A and B are shown apart, each in its own frame.
Chain A
Amino acid sequence: MANSFYFINIIRFTLLVLLQVMVFNRLNFYGFINPMVYILFLYWFPIKENKSPFIIISFLLGFFIDFLSDSMAINTVATVSIAYLRPALMRFCFGVNYEFQNFKITSTAKLQQLTFLSLLILIHHIIFFSLEIFNLSYLLVILKKVIATSLATWLICLLVSSLFSVKKK
Chain B
Amino acid sequence: MQQIINFILRYKNTLLYVFLLFIALTITIQSHSYHKSKFFNSANSLSGNIYQTSFNVSSYFNLNQENKRLLEENLRLRNILFNQNKLLDTVISDSTTNYTVISAQIIKNSYAKPMNYITLNKGSKQGVAQDMGVINAKGILGIVENTSTSFATVQSILNTKSNINAKIKNTDYFGSLIWNTEDANTVQLTDVPRLVKLHVGDTIVTGAMSSIFPENIPIGTIKEFDLNSSKSYYKINISLFNNMTNLKNAYIINNIKREEILELESETTNGK
Which residues of A line the B interface, CB within 8 A?
A: 18, 21-22, 25-26, 28, 31-34, 51-52, 55-56, 59, 62-63, 66-74, 76-77, 80-81, 83-84, 131-134, 138, 141
Contact = CB atoms under 8 A, between A and B. Distances in A.
Contacts of B27: 72-73, 76
Interface residues of B, number: 37
B40 A70 contact: yes
Q: Report whether over half of chain A's contact residues are helix, strand or loop; otherwise say mixed.
A: helix
Interface stretch (B80-88, B111-119, B188-196, B249-257): B111-119
Interface in B12-68: 12-14, 16-17, 20-21, 23-25, 27-28, 31-32, 37, 40-42, 44, 46-47, 50-51, 54
Given A55-B17, A56-B20, A77-B28, A67 B184 contact: no
Given A22-B54, A74-B28, A80-B24, A68 B13 contact: no
Q: Which 3 A-B pairs have the closest CB atoms?
A: A73-B27, A76-B24, A84-B17
A80 B21 contact: yes
A52 B31 contact: no
Contacts of B12: 52
A33 B112 CA distance: 8
Contacts of A67: 40, 44, 46-47
A77 B50 contact: no
Nearest to B29: A72
Interface of B: 12-14, 16-17, 20-21, 23-25, 27-28, 31-32, 37, 40-42, 44, 46-47, 50-51, 54, 110-117, 119, 153, 181, 184, 245
A147 B147 CA distance: 36
Given A18-B50, A70-B115, 12 more contacts: A28-B112, A31-B245, A52-B13, A55-B16, A63-B24, A70-B41, A70-B116, A73-B40, A74-B24, A74-B28, A77-B24, A133-B181
